[in-house]
Amino acid sequence: MMTCAKSHGNAFVRIGITGTGQMPCYRIFHQAGEQRAETIYGSYWDTHDPLEKEDAVNANWSTASMSFEEIDALLKEKINWKKKT
């Protein structure tokens, strides 16, 4: 997700909504252009291996997403990360 954010200025993630849900797949995308159109950066299994094209269809993904900044804040909160002063 960080490489997408660095390359495109933003990054978002959606969770897969098919399967058992125990170890969900995820999709990373960025928004581009004046229309802020979603462009898929990659879709991955829970093991971080890329999904095959036929498994990455749009119907398999949640409609909600989280931004890179939201994920970063959540992870920092969970590990009690404090910026050194």
The domains of the chain are located at: 2-78
> For the segment 32-77, what is each residue's pLDDT rounded down to a tens digit?
888 888 899 998 988 888 887 655 667 778 889 999 999 999 999 9
**Rounded CA separation 2/72 (Å):** 10
Give the pLDDT confidence score for residue 20 in this predicted structure.
65
Give the pLDDT confidence score for residue 22 in this predicted structure.
67
Task: List, in sequence order, every beta strand (DSSP E) within 1-85.
Answer: 12-15, 26-32, 37-44, 66-67
pTM: 0.81
Higher pLDDT, 59 or 28: 28
Give the pLDDT confidence score for residue 54 in this predicted structure.
56
Report how far apart, in Å, the C-alpha atoms of 18 and of each of 4, 5, 7, 42, 79 are: 24, 26, 29, 17, 29
Give the pLDDT confidence score for residue 41 in this predicted structure.
92
In Å, how far from its chain's centre is CA 45? Answer: 12
